[in-house]
Every structure is written in structure tokens, then in C-alpha cells.
Amino acid sequence: MIDEYVGCIRRQQPHGPYVLAGWSYGAFLAAGAAQRLYAKGEQVRMVLIDPVCRQDFCCENRAALLRLLAEGQTPLALPEHFDQQTPDSQLADFISLAKTAGMVSQNLTLQAAETWLDNIAHLLRLLTEHTPGESVPVPCLMVYAAGRPAHWTPAETEWQGWINNADDAVIEASHWQIMMEAPHVQACAQHITRWLCATSTQPENTL
């Protein structure tokens, strides 16, 4: 997937300087693209917005995936006996709760829900099975959400190599608000704009 992104980037702009940004899961795509472009001798700057850690998204089965989703942007109170239910009953209860909470369309059918969940499971497998490369010495800004879920693994567990040489900023928002609610998006954009101005002059990549 990262190679596909790099290919798309280079078709639009064959050579740097590049500015890459990735939020959440997308931080792995941005970091991977930065590594590849840097290795080709390109100038790259990168913004990582509240990057996640792979271990928080390992789902061994459908029930684990539903629990993960229930702990997300729109929390859902799953039944106490959820783990004892059949898979079909688990799905039906989850979708009912998700519709009530406005998390999914009221018209979502169980068949469409199956497809939706299969797609999410596939993307999470790509994430958890991904092996990140070493960090590279490019200018980097880490933007953190102050309201990151407390049960998530701290970002430094997985991103320390990038953090060591990065600037940072903190937004008073949740992991989702930072990219989905206008005031927080604007605050994030202001931090990024100031950082880009401050890092506009870079040493040449000598690779």
C-alpha cells in the first residue's frame, strides 16, 4: 500500500520537496512514504497527527473487532452477556446500538454491515501485520490529541525513533475531534502552518 501511495505522489509531483501528513492509521503510510522518498534522495517534511500503535488494533475475531469499534469515537454499551452470544446475535445487537447512536445509517442491512466489517478487519490486518522501517532524519512535527483514549498504548512505544528528533504540539481535543471538528482542525492547521514556515529552509538530502 505504501508503494502505491508513493507512486501516486510521484505521478502528481515527480520530485520534492514534499510535505507528507498522516493521522491515526495514516501516520504509518506517511512515515513509510517519507522513508522511501528520502531513500531516493528527495527532500521531505512530515507531520504525524496523533499516530496510533499497532498493538491496540489486533482483533483475533469478529467479537474483538466489535468491541474495538464500541470503544471508538462513538462509545457503545454492549450487553453484559455479549461474549456468550452467537456471532449473529452479537452483530445484530451491535448494529442496533450503532444505529441508535447515529454511528451507522438507519438503512444499514446486516449483509451490508458484514461487508463493512470485513473491510475494516482487512485494513486493521494491514496495520497490525505491517513492519515499520527505521526513522529517517527528516523534519517532523508530532501533533498530539490531549484527549487520546487512556487505554491506548502511548505513542512513544512505537514512534520513539521519530519523536526523538521531532517538534511537537498538543491540541485540546480527542483523537477524532482533532481531524473532524472545525475548531480543532483549525487549531491543528495553525500549528502545522507555523511549523512549515519555521522549517522552510532545509539542508539538501545528500543520499
pLDDT tens digits, one per residue of 140-198: 999 999 999 989 999 999 999 999 999 999 999 999 999 999 999 999 999 999 999 99
Question: Over 70: is that where the pLDDT of 203 sits?
Answer: no
Say what the pLDDT of residue 207 is.
55
Give the chain's length: 207
Q: Is residue 204 part of a domain?
A: no
One domain for residues 44 and 140: yes
Sign of CA dihedral 30, 33, 38, 42: negative
Q: Select from 127, 146, 178 the last residue of a domain.
A: 127
One domain for residues 74 and 176: no
Question: Over 80: is that where the pLDDT of 201 sits?
Answer: no
Q: Is residue 203 part of a domain?
A: no
- With cut-offs at 50, 70 and 90, classify the pLDDT of residue 73: confident
pLDDT tens digits, one per residue of 121-146: 999 999 999 888 899 999 999 999 99
Largest separation between any pair of C-alpha atoms in the chain: 60
φ, ψ for residue 168 (rounded to 5)? Answer: -145, 160
- With cut-offs at 50, 70 and 90, classify the pLDDT of residue 206: low
One domain for residues 139 and 48: yes
Say what the pLDDT of residue 1 is.
82
Q: Domain total for the chain?
A: 2
Q: Is residue 95 part of a domain?
A: yes
One domain for residues 99 and 10: no
One domain for residues 51 and 144: yes
One domain for residues 122 and 64: yes
Q: Can you read off the three cell numbers belonging to residue 111?
A: 449483509
One domain for residues 64 and 122: yes
Say what the pLDDT of residue 92 is.
92
Looking at the chain, the whole-number percentage of residues with pLDDT higher than 90 is 84
One domain for residues 94 and 181: no
- With cut-offs at 50, 70 and 90, classify the pLDDT of residue 200: confident
pLDDT tens digits, one per residue of 85-106: 999 999 999 999 999 999 889 9
Q: Is residue 206 part of a domain?
A: no
Looking at the chain, the whole-number percentage of residues with pLDDT higher than 70 is 97
Closest CA to 113 of 97, 82, 91, 93: 91
Closest CA to 141 of 179, 189, 174: 189
One domain for residues 32 and 118: no
Q: Select from 92, 127, 162 the last residue of a domain.
A: 127
Q: Select from 127, 142, 175 the last residue of a domain.
A: 127
Q: Which domain holds residue 95?
A: 58-127
One domain for residues 73 and 169: no
Say what the pLDDT of residue 104 is.
87
